Every structure is written in structure tokens, then in C-alpha cells.
Structure 1
Amino acid sequence: MDITAAVTAAQGAEFELQTVQLGEPSADEVLIRVVASGVCHTDAVARDLAIAPLPAVLGHEGSGVIEAIGSNVRGLEVGDHVVLSFAHCGECEMCLSGHPTSCLEFNPLNFGGCNHDHTHRIHQHGKPLSTFFGQSSFGTYAIAHQRNAVKVDKDVDLALLGPLGCGIQTGAGTVLNRLKPEFGSSIVIYGAGAVGLSALMAAKIMNCKHIIAVDIHDNRLEMAQKLGATAVINGKTEADVVAKIKEITGGGSHYAVETTGVPPVVTQALQALRPLGTCAIVGITPKMEIDVFTDIMAEGKSMIGVIEGDAIAKTFIPNLVDYYKKGLFPFDQLVQFFEFDQINEAFEASANGSVIKPILRIHK
């Protein structure tokens, strides 16, 4: 079938809406009419650094309605509302032990450019286009494996829910699934973007005593306070961020979530921990030097990497939706909608910080 998709033709190229051909779903796949798709930093990285084969149809925070299902699909039906999340094999040790975000096939399934069966569903002029995250949701329709599709309530605006599949799941899951901060503990969130603010809202759910947001944009720090931060720090104007955190928390934070990927900020996050504290790294960080003895070992600290919030999407995303419905996880305050043909403007708004979480409306 012919669909409209945002094609990334080459590294660094702008998105172009073009007609492409989408194949039929296989026995284990579903066809989704894409209602909306979030704009995520990982899409920008894929476009600018070519971490997946190009040309491609990117997009990996899709939400939509199932229009057709393969013969082996179970638990999903035509008409279901779904959020599309990351691809995983479902068979390796990590998947079978409840950690599909660390799937041994995660990289080839999400960044390899083809579907789980090593074929392509998207073509243009007879040539294959790469699939991204097993979904390629920057299109009017998408095909995904049944493992990628998470059924959600029909009484919530479906256009709002796509970012739960990656960015918001990453922030919230890092706190709720991996760090699991104790009642009365302290946590610092470095970077008040969509991932960081989702972690902040999760920390509020966990009743942390100190929830500190660090960023360089005052508008984002104001949003952090609105969502439950007990203190905010502007890293550009504060003379000594580490000393300030230790002053507020009485010796350093128990936990940190580092979302920026900026090496000096990673160092701050480690140094501002109290002894035995834990720093979760979720930002895409380049090579950097760490004083392992001083900043980690000497005080028994831990530094861990967390992918996709260590979440089992099929259960975690519906739980986030339930918390949203109860007013306890107001992620809608992070969102601004753009029309599909405004995709390049949406990415620019994300890059310059004027919009925390852009979402593209693809089908009305």
C-alpha cells in the first residue's frame, strides 16, 4: 500500500514527506494507522550521526489504531489503541528474565534497518528503506511486531501517548524500575527535558524528600518546580553545583539521574552523591575520563547505565497511563503538538529547547 512517510535520505538531511510503499504484516505483526508520533533526541541522533542505515523512515514513539493483524498475533485485535515501543527478541536470557531493554539483539533489531525476520516492509522506487526501532512511526501507517505494540485505554487521547514508548518511559522507568528510591531519600535530576522531567514526576510518586532539578534553561526549571521539584539549580549561574546540592541534601544525594550526556555534568552527578549513592546514566555520553578512585570507589558509589527505563513495556506503559488518569503523572504538560508537515520545525523546537516534547499529529 502507498503511504506518506518522512524520509531521511542521507546523514544530516532534513525530513521530506514522500510517498513510499508499505508491505503486508507477517504472521507475527500488526498494521497500525499512526495517529501521532513523538519527536525524540534519538531520532535526531539517527538523522545526524547515521546510527542506523540510511535512507530510512525514522520515528519510534508512535501511537495508533490496529487495522490488521497477522495469523499468529495474540492479545491484540483490530481497532485496539496501541503505543509502539522498542523491539526485542523475546527469547534471550535478558528478555526471559524480565529485562527486554537489555535484549542481546537490541541493537540489530532497533538500529539494524530491517525487520525481525531480516526483511524490509518499506520500499520506494523498488528499493528498501530502513526501518527504525521495529516501527518507523514517521509515516501514516506502520508495521510492528506484536511484541512492540502495547494496548492502552481508549478513554485517553491516543495522540498524547506515543512518547510513553521511549522518552517518558526511559525517565520514569529509571526511577521506578531501577533506582527505586526509598521514602525520604534524595534524588537529583540532571537535565530537565522530557526524560528528566519524567524521572522527576516518578520521584514525586516515590515520595522522595529532596527532588532537585539541574538545568541551564530557566523555563525548564520553572516547569520542574511546577511538577514537584523541591529545589532547582541553574547550572550556568550557580558557582558550585556540587556544593549547592550537598548543602540542600545535607551531605549529597542518594540518587542521581543523568540525562544530558555532557561529560562535566556526569562528573558533577557523581561528585554530588553521598557515600553509597547511585548515579543512573541515561544520556548518550561521549568518551570521557572519570577519576574512578575518588569519584566512585573511595565512597562506595555506583554508576549504572539504564536503557528504556529497564521497563517491560506491555505492563509499564499501561501503569503510566493509569497514573496519568489519576493526576499523578501529568506528562501532558510537557507536550506541544505539530502537524506532520511541520516535522522539521518540530525537531528545531526540540533542539533549541523551546518545546520539551513535540508530538506530530499524523492522522486526525
Structure 2
Amino acid sequence: MLMKAALSRGPEYPFSLETVELDRARPDEVVVRIVATGLCHTDLFAKSVLPAALGPAVFGHEGAGVVEEVGALVETISPGDHVVLTYRHCGACRQCRGANPAYCERAHQLNSSGSRPDGSTTITLDGERVRGAFFGQSSFSEYVVATADNVVVVDKSVDLITAAPFGCGFQTGAGAVLNVLAPEEDSSMVVFGAGSVGFAALLAARARRVATLCAVDPLPARRALAEEFGAVSIDPTTQDVAAEIRALTGGGATHTLDTTGIPTVIGLAVSALRERGTAVVVGLGAPEVTVDIQDLMRKGKTLRGCIEGDSSVQSFIPQLLALHSEGRFPVDRLITRYSFEDINRAVADQASGSVVKPVLVW
């Protein structure tokens, strides 16, 4: 099938909208017509580290659309279903069997290898291989080949443009709060980085009626929005973040979340905790960070990572969509819509901080 896709030809080049060919679906696969795809930092991080010498690639992993075709072995999905696409997992390894699919032992092969598990490609350009199957979808394209494990059927009343980022960014932030940190109503939570993931975390904490919420971000517009959502905001460029957090929380936060991936910020997220507090990191960034181990030990603090919100997608994404429909998770306020032809403008606007969550629409 011929279709349009936003190709990356290397870190130094912008995305280019080109005509490519999608492979036929196999018996265990489905074809989805993409309505919208969220633009995520992970897409841009992957683009920045994939050398041009490896050839063109199609990213995109927050797709939402309508099922066009279903393979003979697929039993839980039907043509015409409205779906949100998310990460792949094998379903058979120790982590998947233990209800921890985000930590699937085959995660890299299934989500980041650039091909199907057998090495075949789902996308070609003039007969040549294109790196695809990103998170089992590569949804910066008009159509995708996906599989049952990364396809979540949603009610047809759900707005697919709003739903697209639930496949990664929104579930990452909300899941870090609801599935990992699990704050009580009398807790205090500080989010470092008020982007789409950070705001999803704040809104999830607000839905749990967490008493004290705080957002740390250098951008005035994002601090203002955080305050509209009930959080106290801190400007790290002009304020003593640690002192402000101690004053706000009576000595230290019970929970902190870093979305930035910046080592110094992660260190601050740990140091800002009170005794037996927990810090969670979800941002892609530098691979090494310095942490005061004596502080961690003496005060019984916890520092842990979190991928995809520790979520089991078939239940968690519908849970979040239900919260949204009840008005308790208003992430639609974070979204700015762009046509796919404007993908590079969306990238630039996200980088400048002028928008929180770009969503690309065909």
C-alpha cells in the first residue's frame, strides 16, 4: 500500500513527507489508518541518535486511528474498531508473565530495532528498506502495521486526537503517579519539568486529591498553567528550588518526579525528599547522575526508574480515558493540533516551549 509518511534521514535533517510503501499485514497483524499521532520527546531523541548512514526511518509511537484490516489469527480486534496504539511487549517473558509488560525482556527488539522481530521491514521506499516498526507502529504515517499487544480498542465516542498521547506520554506521567508513587491525600508531590508528561503527572495527582502539588519549570506560561491546575510553581532560574520546596512541604516532599533527564535536576529531586520519600525518573537524558548515597541511606529515600508508567495498557489506558471523560484528567488542555505537513513547525514549537503537546493530524 502506498502512503505518506514523515521520514527522518538523519539527525541533521528535518522530517520530510514522502510516499512510501507499507507491507501487507501478516496473519497476526492489523492495519490501522492513523487519524492522529502525538509528538513525543522519545521520537526526537531517537531521531537525534540514529545516524544518517543507517538510512531513512519512520518514527511515531503515539498513534490513534481506525482498524482497516485484521489478520486471520487476531481475535480481539475487528475492522472499524477505534484504537490507541502503544508500546509492544512479548507477553511470554518473566516480566510480562508477572504483569510488568513495560519491562518486557524483548522490549528493545520489539520497539526499537527498526524492524519486525524476524528482521523484516514494514516500510519500503522505492524498494529499499526503511527503518520502521517503531514501538510496533511507526505512526508518523498514514497507515501502520501493528499487533494485538500494542493495540488498545477504545469506545468510538473517544476523540482520537485527544486520545493519541495516551499511548505513551500521558500514560507515562499519570502511571508514574498512580502505579508507582501512589501518593496519599496528605502527601506532597513535586514535578520537575512541566511538559506533557509532567502535566499528566500533576493532573493524576490532583485526581487523587494530593494535598500539596508543586511544579518546577523555567517557562512562565507553563508555570501559570500549573497554577491553574492547582499547583504551586517554582522558577528554577530565579528561586532557590530546594528552599522553596522545604518551605512549601514542611521540610521536604514525600514524592518527586523528574521528567527532564538532567543529572543536576535528578539530584535535586532526590535531595528535596523528606525521610522515606520516593523520587521517580522518567526522562531520557544523560546516562549518569550523581546522588548523595549517604543522604539516600540515612533518610531511607528511594530513587527508581519508571517506563511507560508501569502500565498494563489494556486496562490502564481505558482507566485514564474514563478519568478524562469524567473531567478529572483534562489533558485536552495540553494539546495543540498540527497537520502532518507542519511536523517540523510542531517540532520547533515544542522545542521553544510555546506548546505543551503537539498532536499531528492527517
The answer to whether the superposition gives a TM-score over 0.5 is: yes
- The structural deviation recorded for 1:49 is 1.5
CA distance in 2, matches of 1:158, 1:255: 32
Unaligned runs of 5+ in 2: none
Q: Which residue of 2 aligns with 1:135?
A: 137
Partner of 2:162: 160
Contact map agreement 2:8 2:47 (CA 8 A) in 1: yes
Note the 1:209-358 alignment, pairs <5 A.
Answer: 209-229=211-231, 231-238=232-239, 240-358=240-358
Q: What is the alpha-carbon distance in structure 1 between the residues aligned to residue 113 and residue 345 of structure 2?
A: 27
State the shift of 1:331 in Å: 0.3
Name the aligned partner's letter for residue 299 of structure 1: K
Structure 1 position 205, deviation (Å): 1.2
CA contact (8 A) 1:189 1:214 kept: yes
- Structure 2 contact 10–51 (Cα < 8 Å) conserved: no
Identical aligned residues as a percent: 43
Distance 1:213 1:182 in 2: 18
Output the TM-score relative to the length of structure 1: 0.96
CA contact (8 A) 1:60 1:84 kept: yes
| Separation (CA, whole Å) in 2 of partners of 1:62 and 1:268 | 34
CA drift at 1:54: 4.0
Out of 140, 146, 149, the residue aligned to residue 148 of structure 2 is 146
Aligned to 2:346, the other structure's residue is in SS state helix
**Unpaired segments ≥5 residues, structure 1:** none
- Tell me the CA shift for residue 291 of structure 1: 3.8
The answer as to whether partners of 2:84 and 2:167 remain within 8 angstroms in 1 is: yes
2-side partners of 1:352 and 1:44: how far apart?
A: 14
Amino acid at match of 2:37: S
Amino acid aligned to 1:328: R
Q: Distance in 2 between matches of 1:159 and 1:189?
A: 26
- The answer to whether 1:181 aligns with 2:206 is no
Note if contact 2:86-2:151 (Cα within 8 Å) is conserved in structure 1.
Answer: yes
- The Cα shift of 1:254 comes to 0.5
Residue aligned with 1:277, SS:
strand
2:135 match: secondary structure: coil
Superposed displacement of residue 117, structure 1: 3.5
Other structure's SS at 2:197 match: helix
CA distance in 2, matches of 1:314, 1:12: 37
Q: For residues 51 and 154 of structure 1, do their structure 2 counterparts lie closer, same or farther at Cα, with a shift above 3 Å needed?
A: farther
Q: State whether residues 266 and 289 of structure 2, in contact with CA within 8 Å, keep that contact through their aligned partners in structure 1.
A: no
CA distance 1:38–1:289, shift in 2 (3 Å): closer
Give the equivalent residue in structure 1 for 2:77: 76
Once the two structures are overlaid, the 10-residue window that deviates more, 273-282 or 151-160, is: 151-160
Distance 2:125 2:51 in 1: 21
Paired residues for 1:45-84 under 5 Å? 45-50=45-50, 54-84=55-85
Query: Which amino acid is the alignment partner of residue 265 of structure 2?
Result: V
Whole-angstrom distance in 2 between the partners of 1:289 and 1:44: 22
- Separation (CA, whole Å) in 1 of partners of 2:135 and 2:50: 14
- Counterpart of 1:81 in structure 2: which amino acid? H
Per the TM alignment, residue 289 of structure 1 is displaced from its structure 2 partner at its CA by: 4.2
Q: CA deviation at 1:12?
A: 2.7
Give per-residue Cα distances to partners, 1:229-248, cap 9 Å, x unaligned. 1x11111110x211110111
- Is the 1:11–1:54 contact (alpha carbons within 8 Å) kept by the matching residues of 2? no
Alpha-carbon spacing, 1:275–1:189, altered in 2? closer, same or farther (3 Å): same
Query: What TM-score comes out, normalization by structure 2 length?
Result: 0.97
Task: Indicate the SS of the match to 1:170.
Answer: helix
2:14 equivalent in structure 1: 14
The residue that corresponds to 1:124 in the other structure is 125
Over 3 Å counting, the alpha-carbon distance change for 1:174 and 1:51 in structure 2 is farther
User: How far is 1:8 from its partner?
Assistant: 0.8
- Return the alpha-carbon distance in structure 1 between the equivalents of residues 185 and 30 of structure 2: 41
Shift of 1:294: 3.2
- Retained in 2: the 8 A contact 1:31–1:67? yes
| Distance in structure 2 (CA, Å) of the matches to 1:223 and 1:61 | 23
**Partner Cα separation in structure 2 for residue 183 and residue 93 of structure 1:** 34
Stretches of 4+ moved more than 6 A in 1? none
SS at match of 1:56: coil
